[in-house]
Amino acid sequence: MRALMLVCTLVLTTGCTITPWVAPYERQYLADPIMGFEQDPVAARYMNHVYEAREAARGAEGGSGGGCGCN
């Protein structure tokens, strides 16, 4: 925690900023459809459905995102 506070203080006092380290033109691999967490919503939802009906655990399924954030 101390280290985190130190880093925050340094960032705030020195004006350092972290810049995005993967530029839009470097996202060709992430833009590939196979890089989506789930390629087919209708199929992914159904499997979550199967699991939730037969297992006590629920929630935090996520998984619809992925890819590069670009079309």
Q: Does the footprint of another protein cover residue 24 (CB under 8 A)?
A: yes
Q: Does the footprint of another protein cover residue 4 (CB under 8 A)?
A: no
Cα 63 from Cα 28, distance rounded (Å): 20
Alpha helices in the chain (DSSP H): 2-14, 28-31, 41-54
Q: Are 26 and 57 in contact (CB under 8 A)?
A: no
Tell me how many residues contact another protein (CB under 8 A). 49
CB of 31 to another protein, least distance (A): 10
Per the rule left: phi > 0, alpha: psi between -120 and 50, beta: everything else, 55 is: beta
CB of 6 to another protein, least distance (A): 22
Q: Does the footprint of another protein cover residue 23 (CB under 8 A)?
A: yes
Residue ranges in contact with another protein by CB under 8 A: 19-24, 26-27, 29-30, 32-37, 39-71
